[in-house]
Chain A
Amino acid sequence: GQNIDQPTEMTATEGAIVQINCTYQTSGFNGLFWYQQHAGEAPTFLSYNVLDGLEEKGRFSSFLSRSKGYSYLLLKELQMKDSASYLCAVRDLDNTDKLIFGTGTRLQVFP
């Protein structure tokens, strides 16, 4: 079966660092995406990992461990505008470009 787990909700303070975890059990694996979705808006791409390790992009970083079926998104120097849902999605090893999405983590940043 296909299963992607993320915490449902998280809260953090402006200026802090927060880590959003994602674990997956899928029949195959061919890459992991993170998307950001503000309330009432479309998801937008944040990062893509296919090899183990850390990918850094400004205030956001994403980590992948394929052997552990685990990824995290790290957000530094949190700003109020980072309040959003963060979606983890896995690309299966079925030679298509379909993604399997987790249910998302709603992050609230407080002043």
Chain B
Amino acid sequence: DVKVTQSSRYLVKRTGEKVFLECVQDMDHENMFWYRQDPGLGLRLIYFSYDVKMKEKGDIPEGYSVSREKKERFSLILESASTNQTSMYLCASSMSGGGYEQYFGPGTRLTVT
């Protein structure tokens, strides 16, 4: 059974803290994605990676960075958390080459106070 796991389901952090969200997939997928999901705004792409150490900005990269040192792991980093980064964060992975579905992790609900 294919699996994408995320390090936490719920996380509460203070403004200014550095936050790490981890995502691991066991399907040997080339692509990995980080989204945030907010009511009325849908899923918005933050960053994606198409190979180890390769990354591209998505639609809303400001305030975030990513790391992909191993194929199965993709980390999202909030350098200095702010209240407007309170959201649901979803990680996904897919094969490359087009037309392949993305598999999503269960999500991390991050609250920044």
Chain A interface category by residue count = 20 to 34
B74 at the interface (CB under 8 A from A): no
Q: Assess whether A99 is in contact with B42, with CB atoms less than 8 Å apart.
A: no
A12 at the interface (CB under 8 A from B): no
Q: Assess whether B102 is in contact with A45, with CB atoms less than 8 Å apart.
A: yes
Name which of A36-44, A59-67, A70-78 contacts chain B. A36-44
Q: How far is the CA of A41 from the CA of B101 in the complex (A)?
A: 17
Counted as pairs of residues, one from A and one from B, with CB atoms less than 8 Å apart, the total is 55
Q: Assess whether B99 is in contact with A31, with CB atoms less than 8 Å apart.
A: yes
Q: How far is the CA of A98 from the CA of B57 in the complex (A)?
A: 11
A101 and B105 contact, Cβ closer than 8 Å, known pairs A31-B98, A96-B50: no
Chain B interface (Cβ < 8 Å from any Cβ of A) = 4, 31, 33, 35, 40-45, 48, 50, 56, 58, 90, 94, 96-107
